[in-house]
Structure 1
């Protein structure tokens, strides 16, 4: 098993390599990750909706030792990553992070949200700082409204912003 400090570096280098093969190769990889992640979260979303997402990311917060705040109500889930452990580890290594490193989160989460009828707003904020905010809504109008407040809004394969 690869230690987490090495795993994020490995991931970063895979992203860099795939980017040299073309944007389609990188996005295909993220879609493959998304398909794999469905085994872990799809049933929770389909049966418990936003509460299932909250349950899933509450476990991730502990497992990955994330400095993350989760806020949940009947209309939306917000994940506020105060210090992303993944990007932090990449920044701490001697190799520069791939410019689009943070897009991998939207690349796997977004397609699942689309598949389940939820609407995600992914605000990277600043690609050089290990923080972001993800908001997931039932109501597409509320998602469009939240997009207006995003500093650096990211989409994902197959998704159109706005």
Structure 2
């Protein structure tokens, strides 16, 4: 089994290879990751909503020793990644990071949120710095307002366009 601190580096190389095959190949891979993550999250998010999302990411924060702030509000959940352990490990490597490495997070989370009726606003801020802000809203208009404040807004495979 691959050690956990090597996994992001492995992902980085897989992403680089898939990028040579075209963006559609990357998106297909991210959708496969999303389908796998559905087994762990979809029912929890559908039945427990923002509270279930908070439970999930609280567990991830502790399990992966993430430097992140997680706030549950009445109308949204905010995850502020202060130092992303995944991108940090990729940056602490002799191989250059894949230019859109951070996009894989929205690539798997976004499709799940679309299936739950929640609205994801994923602000990577800067692809070269291990930080981001993820916000999840039940109310679409609040998500649209938050999107306008994003520095570098992420999309994902199948993201519904705003009407």
State the TM-score, normalized to the length of structure 1: 0.98
- Counterpart residue number, 2:35: 35
Partners of 1:57 and 1:159 in 2: how far apart? 22
- Counterpart residue number, 1:122: 122
Contact 1:15 1:101 in 2 (8 A): yes
Q: 1:14/1:39 Cα in 2 relative to 1: closer, same or farther (>3 Å)?
A: same
- Counterpart residue number, 2:81: 81
CA-to-aligned-CA distance 1:134-162 (integer Å, 9 cap, x gap): 00000000000001110011100111465
RMSD, aligned CA:
0.9
Q: Write the mapping of 1:63-78 to structure 2, written as runs, cut at 5 A.
A: 63-78=63-78
CA-to-aligned-CA distance 1:26-78 (integer Å, 9 cap, x gap): 10000000000000011111110000000000000001110000011221000
- Counterpart residue number, 1:113: 113
- Match of 1:4, SS state, is coil
Partners of 1:22 and 1:160 in 2: how far apart? 21
State the TM-score, normalized to the length of structure 2: 0.97
CA-to-aligned-CA distance 1:88-118 (integer Å, 9 cap, x gap): 0000011111000000000000000001100
The runs of 5 or more residues in structure 1 that have no matched partner are: none
Alignment length (residue pairs)? 162
The runs of 5 or more residues in structure 2 that have no matched partner are: none
